[in-house]
């Protein structure tokens, strides 16, 4: 069983060594030691990929993809259950639809969401948020 879900914000913070990256690094190290992989929805993985592609081009995006493949992160497909919960969040909160998938993953898997994205403050009554800063 996993204990933490990641959104694009947390993964990009880790990759770019932005504030709070150490917390992500510690979670990844713990996951590697225990075999309890962190979770990430494929929608949020796609956010990371397109963000890197826009900022640094397709070659860099592929380099980052290969690096992410080596980390103890389980990619969770956006199935009907996640899509429904994400839609519920999107209908009732001013958040990006992709962020709603990260929140839906945390809720449906009953794990904490690691992020620094302030938009998730609106969901703190429904999911546990581990703040990067």
CATH number, position 98: 3.40.50.1010
Q: What is the pLDDT along the chain (133 residues), one digit of tens a residue?
A: 568 999 999 999 999 999 999 999 999 999 999 999 999 999 999 999 999 999 999 999 999 999 999 999 999 999 999 999 999 999 999 999 999 999 999 999 999 999 999 999 999 999 999 999 8
Looking at residue 49, its pLDDT comes to: 98
Neighbours of 99 (CB within 10 A): 26
Looking at residue 126, its pLDDT comes to: 95
Is residue 108 within 8 Å of residue 85, measured between CB atoms? yes
> Which residues lie across from 40 on neighbouring strands?
75
Looking at residue 53, its pLDDT comes to: 98
Provide the CA 128 distance to its chain's centre, in angstroms: 13
Looking at residue 2, its pLDDT comes to: 60
Looking at residue 3, its pLDDT comes to: 83
CA-based torsion, 66, 68, 73, 76: positive or negative: negative
Neighbours of 53 (CB within 10 A): 16
Residue range of the domain that includes 41: 4-131
Number of domains in the chain: 1
Long-range pairs for 46-50 at CB < 8 Å and ≥24 separation? 46/98, 47/7, 47/8, 47/98, 48/8, 48/11, 48/12, 48/15
Closest CA to 69 of 87, 54, 89, 48: 48
């Amino acid at each position: 069983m996993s204990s933490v879900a990641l959104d694009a914000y947390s993964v990009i913070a880790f990759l770019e060594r932005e504030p709070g990256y150490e917390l992500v690094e510690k979670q990844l190290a713990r996951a590697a030691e225990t075999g309890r992989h962190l979770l990430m929805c494929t929608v949020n993985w796609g956010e990371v990929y397109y963000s890197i592609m826009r900022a640094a081009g397709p070659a860099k995006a592929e380099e980052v993809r290969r690096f992410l493949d080596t980390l103890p992160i389980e990619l969770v497909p956006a199935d009907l259950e996640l899509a429904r919960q994400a839609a519920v969040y999107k209908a009732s909160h001013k958040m990006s639809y992709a962020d709603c998938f990260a929140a839906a993953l945390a809720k449906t898997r009953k794990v904490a969401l690691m992020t620094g994205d302030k938009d998730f403050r609106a969901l703190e009554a429904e999911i546990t948020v581990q703040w990067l800063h």
